Amino acid sequence: MRTYYTWLCIFTTVCTAAAGDVLVALAMRRIGDLGEVRRRHGFFAILVRVFSSGILFGGVFFMAIAFFSNLIGLSWADLSVVGPASAALTFVTNALGARFFLHENVDRRRWLATIFVCLGVLLLTWS
Amino acid sequence: MTLRKYLVILSVVFFGSVGDAFLARGMKHTGAIDIHHLSNVFTALANPFVIVGIFFLLAFMSSYMTALSFADLTYVMPATAISYVVMVLLSIFWLHEHVSPQRWAGVALIVIGVGVVAGGPSRTEHPAAQVPARGLKERV
């Protein structure tokens, strides 16, 4: 039964982490390059833009769910199971989210990099 | 990509990996959380390792947001995966752990993946992205 709960936790972590990453990326794209904003308008302008972004808070909310789900998963199963499974799957779901929701140009180079990193993380942590 | 932007990517790697290490250690101290008492996860927030880990993850979050303001998610994610390699190097030189050939193969794959993505453009140019960011236009 604990295995079932562990995989439920991993599934929740992967989905909410991807939703959080996509929403935060969308918010930061709309806010603009923070270095550029600071140079033109000062540090205070960054704070105003960041704290007035509803999309950003939505992303942080999903990231918080992913964080607690990961903590619960770590308390039920070994880091060697929860770590690689959620990290590797998050790479793939983020690439899909970026492709379909952010309309990023996920070309062959980026898919190749995602797959290499995904397999590398699996080998590294599942030994 | 300027030097400042590479430093932002490096700070994502540093704060993320150190924060995760503190959290993992803190959760080992806290012990298993019962499925019927999920609210007990909040007791973990009293653990000093978890508290330090959260501070590192806040620093990670701010550098991660900065990175996403100038680069695509599909660029930042693989590029910051070099943190896994940093953790292996730390385990060899700091903790004197043995690293198996399988883990070295994982390190090699991650390094190749990071090299592949770092060689490409960091940002997808959308027509909307060429419009000045909100608030810039009216002040110029």
Local structure of residue B40 (DSSP, 8 states): G
B81 touching A, CB under 8 A? Answer: yes
Give the Cα separation of B60 and B83 in Å (integer): 12
> Taking CB atoms and an 8 Å limit, are A117 and B64 in contact across chains?
no
Per DSSP, chain A holds a count of helices (H) and strands (E) of: 6, 0
Q: Which chain A residue lies closest to B72 (C-alpha atoms)?
A: A104
B96: left (phi over 0), alpha (psi -120 to 50) or beta: left
Q: Give the pLDDT score at B3.
A: 83
Whether the predicted model's global pTM rises above the 0.80 cut: no
Cα atoms in the 13 Å half-sphere on the side-chain side of A82: 27
Nearest CA in chain A to B33: A75
Least confident of A63-67, A104-108, B22-26, B61-65: B22-26
Beta-strand ranges (E) seen in chain B are none
Q: In the predicted model, is pLDDT for residue A19 greater than 90?
A: yes
B130 reaches A (C-beta below 8 A):
no
Give B11's pLDDT tier (boundaries 50, 70, 90): very high
